[in-house]
Structure 1
Amino acid sequence: MSRPVELPRWIDVGVLPLVNLGLALLVSAVVVRIVGYDPAQVLALLVKGAFGSAAGLSYTLYYATTFTFTGLAVAVAFHGGLFNIGAEGQAMMGGLGAGLAALAWGEQLPAGLMLPLMVLAALLFGLAWAAVPAALQAWRGSHVVITTIMFNFIAAALMGYLLVNGLKAPGEMTPESRAFADSALMPGMDRVLGALGIDWPKTPLNLSVLLALAALLLVWLGLWKTRAGYAVRAVGFSPQAAQYAGLRPRRLILGSMMASGALAGLVGINEIAGVHGRLLPDFVAGAGFAGIAVSLIGRNHPVGIALAALLFGALYQGGSELAFEISGFSRDMVYVLQGLIVLFAGAMAQVAAPALARVWRWTGGGRRG
Structure 2
Amino acid sequence: MTTSATRLRVYENVIDQHDSYTVMNPVQGCPKRCRYCFLQQRFQTGVKPVELAGPADTVQRLLSSPYYRPGGVLAAYTCTDALATPPNRRHLIGLLRELTCAHVTNPLVLISKCAPTPEVIDAVTAARANRLPVIMYLSYSGLEPDVELGIDHQALRRSFGLWHSAGVPVVHYWRPFLPQNSTEEAMRTVLDTVVGRSACSVAVGLKTPPGAFDQMAGLWDGLPADAAAADAVWPEQARQLLERLPAEYGHLVYESNSCALAHVTDRPDDAGVWGSEVCAAADLCPPDQRRLCRATWRTPAPLATEQIDAELTRLGLAGTPYEWDPAERRLRLTVPARRADTTSLTYALHVRVTAPREATDLYWPGRIGGSLPLIAS
How would you bin the TM-score normalised by the shorter chain?
Answer: under 0.3
Q: Give the structure with the larger strand fraction.
A: 2
Q: Give the structure with the larger helix fraction.
A: 1
TM-score (norm 2): 0.23
